[in-house]
Structure formats: C-alpha cells, structure tokens
Amino acid sequence: MSSSRDDFGIAFRSALLQRGAAQKFSLISLIVLATIIFFLDIYGFGFMKPVRSIINDGIYRVSLVASSPSRFAPQVTEGFKNLINIKEENKRLKQALEVYRQKELSVEYLTNQNKNLRKILESDETLFQFQSNTILSKVLIDKSSPYLKSIIINRGSKSGILKGMPVLDKEYLVGRVVETNYLSSRVLLLNDLNSRIPVTFGGDGVQAILKGNGEAKPILEYLPEGYIVEEGLEVFTSGKDGIFLPGSPIGITTEEGQVKLFSESSQLSYVKVDFSKQKKEVF
C-alpha cells in the first residue's frame, strides 16, 4: 500500500509540474480529489485498486501531453536553425559561383584579345617591317554618332604619333590621326562625315574622292563625267593628297557608287599606325 501511495504521489507531483496540467485541472480540484483518493486508499476499499490504476494512467497521459511541447520545441528550433544555415550556405555558394563566372569571362576576353594580336602579327608584313614601319595601338574608345565616326587609341606623341598618320587594320586603311595627346590620339575613320580620301580603282586607274557619309559605306565623288561605277572593283589610296602612300587597300565598289570597306570600323580592337610616309620623307 505504501508503494501505491508513493506511485500516486510521484504521478501527482509530475502532473503539477507540467505547464499544460494547469489548463486541465484547477489546483483546488486536484487537492480535493487527491484527499478523497488518499482516504479511500487508506481504508482499503477493494474498488480503489482499479480506480487508482486508471487515475495513474490518466495522469501519466496528461503529463505526456503536457510535456510534448517542451520535448519537441528543441527539435523544431534545431530544424529552423538548420534551414537558416542552409540558406546562408546557398547564398555563399551563389556568390562564389558568380566570382568564378566573372573570372571565366575575363579569361575568355583575354583569350580573344590574344587571338586578335596573333592575327595581326601573322599578317603578310614581315616582322622587321612591322617593327620599323608601324606601331600597334589599342582602341580605348569608339566615339560614334549618326554622322561622326572616330576612335581613341592608346598611343600619342610620346610614341612618336603625328597628325595625318595613316591608321590600318591589318593591311587595310581605316582612317588617319587628326589629334594627338601625350598618351592618346584620335583617329578619324573613313566613314566619318568629315573624311575625304583621294582614291583610285579599276583597270583604267580611275581617280575619285572617297567621302564619308556617316554610314557603313562611304561614297565615291568627283568621278569622270558619265562614268558608271562597276561592282566589285578594288579601291586603293592614290597618294595624291601627299598624306597617304599610294596603294593602301580600302574596299570594293558597289553598283550604287559606294565602297564596302574591307575593315568594319565598329569591330576595331587593335590598329596599327603607319610611320612609312614620315620615314621616307626623312630619307
């Protein structure tokens, strides 16, 4: 009987300690019920054994339900922390992936630049001619508007660049230097509205002026009277202006009296400034 009272006391105290039990029973009700059960159990009523067993089971169940939040709360909290950690890790991985992607793009850009430089170095000119007659320049800015077409290169008076020097893309003429600074120069392209270049073309050596019109194909002016331009004739500098050496290739004629340039000005990355004219004048 003492063991039974101990079991009941333990169960009763456990019920009182659970937060949820206060929501099911008032303190006074529990005290009254416990007192009645206590006296009935002391006087040894036979029906108390199964009643006590049922009450104990009920109290244990109530205790289990009341303690559930305290048992499951740490698991929920831990799961929430894991979710936050996963999100933060995902964010860090995305940032790292973006850094690697930028590095990959930089490598691709440098690879393309290297290919362009190789094409220039592997042109028909000999290495000696390349070193002595031209200087390689990088295009810094492409200044383009509806009619004005020019580029800024990273060579200036420090490198010996002078106004009027021809500028080439491979062996094709693309324009001339019109302004020099100490470390940079501005190049007027052939399709600029202000560009005028004396040219020659065809088997008869027809002379004309190639005039920029702000579009992709400059036009031929001052042609012989009644002359009809044939399509597919190569156009070269004539050298009559005293600025350009004769024979620099420019483009091919079209039926409309225009010239399709060999070099597309909007795609220039590197150009060569030609010193040939100045060196010949010195000698």
* 141 and 204 share one domain: yes
What separation in angstroms does the CA of 168 have from each of 123, 199, 264? Answer: 12, 16, 12
Q: Given this model, what pLDDT does residue 34 score?
A: 67
- Specify if 9 maps to a domain: yes
- Specify if 262 maps to a domain: yes
* 140 and 269 share one domain: yes
* 164 and 265 share one domain: yes
* 224 and 133 share one domain: yes
Question: Average pLDDT over the chain, rounded to whole?
Answer: 76
Domain hosting 240: range is 127-282
- Specify if 118 maps to a domain: no
* 50 and 135 share one domain: no
* 46 and 173 share one domain: no
Q: What is the CATH number of the domain that holds 242?
A: 2.40.10.340
* 153 and 253 share one domain: yes
Q: Which of 223, 229, 224 is nearest to 258 (CA)?
A: 229
State the CB neighbour count (10 A cutoff) for residue 168.
20
Domain total in the chain:
2
Helix (H, G, I), strand (E, B) or coil at 110: helix
* 163 and 28 share one domain: no
- Specify if 67 maps to a domain: yes
pTM equals 0.55
- Specify if 122 maps to a domain: no
Q: Given this model, what pLDDT does residue 126 score?
A: 39
- Specify if 80 maps to a domain: no
State the CB neighbour count (10 A cutoff) for residue 60.
13
Domain finish residue from 49, 72, 95:
72
Buried/exposed code over 142-157 (b: 16+ C-beta within 10 A; e: otherwise): eebeeeebbbbbebbe
- Specify if 248 maps to a domain: yes
Taking 50 as the pLDDT cut, the residues of the chain under it are 19, 21, 23, 25, 124-131, 281-283
Helices (H), the chain: 2-17, 27-42, 48-121, 127-133, 276-282
Domain finish residue from 56, 72, 88:
72
* 140 and 218 share one domain: yes
* 197 and 266 share one domain: yes
Say how many Å lie between the first and final Cα of the chain, rounded. 131
Q: Given this model, what pLDDT does residue 58 score?
A: 66
* 57 and 142 share one domain: no
Q: Given this model, what pLDDT does residue 44 score?
A: 57
- Specify if 96 maps to a domain: no
Q: What is the DSSP string of 200-213?
A: EETTTTEEEEEE--
* 54 and 141 share one domain: no
Q: Given this model, what pLDDT does residue 255 score?
A: 87
Domain finish residue from 55, 72, 89:
72
